[in-house]
Structure 1
Amino acid sequence: MEKQIFNTNNAPAPIGPYNQAVKAGNTLYVSGQIPFDPATGELVTSGIKDAADMVMKNLQAILTEAGMSFADVVKTTIFLTDMNTFAQVNEVYGSYFTGNYPARETVQVAALPRGVNVEISVIAVK
């Protein structure tokens, strides 16, 4: 099976040996995104809702680059450093989907890259 690599300047550049997304067959695996604004080169630190929104915008940019959308997402993983922020992140996250929600897990972790408080990855099929 051939892999297709997807990277866009509309989302943060990888900070390690990985790509923003890899497509195998008709399945797209999108690397976890953090609240880094590719336009400013800065982390979004103005609150958990703003951070979650930036994460979702980064995911959207990568999905778009691969010819997909949130409607094609079948699985997500949300990483939080504080489960007490779940309701706020969930509100922002939910606004990017219109019914037929994907499968998901949300976990609290001790730390995330660059000291951020939210990271989300997705798997999409088209």
Structure 2
Amino acid sequence: MKKIISTKNAPAAIGPYSQANFANGILYISGQIPVDPATNELVEGIENETHQVMKNLQAILTEAGMTFKNVVKATIFLKDMGDFAAVNEVYASYLEEGTYPARETVQVSRLPKDVDVEISMIAHQE
């Protein structure tokens, strides 16, 4: 049985999906974009965007009683692979070495609201 995870500390879904679903000890977090949940506005600049995405993911993890240490898989979607180094640096700053999840990073032609980065995650409750 799945449980819907929702928090006001992350942006509300902009379509027919949940922020996250928890099922059988696994948390599936929908892709997060750089929307500040306090203002419902997009943040700008790739570093700021990535920080906001990671804060949104962290809020959902917290709501589910987890941390980034529980994350086993991440997917990063970039509008421009030229932003890879900047995104990677910010992304890594939220993780503890030795607990890095599996991950892929792909360039896409377009993301919701024309943002530059979107990240989704899968976490496991130990």
Matched letter for residue 124 of structure 1: A
Identity within the alignment, %: 65
Match of 1:103 in 2: 102
Matched letter for residue 22 of structure 1: N
Matched letter for residue 61 of structure 1: A
Deviation at 1:109, TM superposition (A): 0.0
What secondary structure does 1:71 align onto? helix
Which of residues 45, 57, 60 in structure 2 aligns to 1:59? 57
Deviation at 1:41, TM superposition (A): 1.3
The number of aligned residues is 124
- What does 1:60-79 correspond to in 2, within 5 Å? 60-79=58-77
Matches of 1:52 and 1:44, distance apart in 2: 9
Cα RMSD between the aligned structures? Answer: 0.4
Matched letter for residue 119 of structure 1: E
**Cα deviations by residue, 1:42-88 (Å, 9 ceiling, x for unpaired):** 0001x100000000000000000011110000000000000000000
Matches of 2:40 and 2:76, distance apart in 1: 23
Matched letter for residue 26 of structure 2: T
TM-score (norm 2): 0.97
After superposing on structure 2, the runs of 4+ consecutive aligned residues of structure 1 that deviate more than 3 Å are none
- Gaps in structure 1 of 5+ consecutive residues: none
- What does 1:6-85 correspond to in 2, within 5 Å? 6-45=5-44, 47-85=45-83
TM-score (norm 1): 0.97
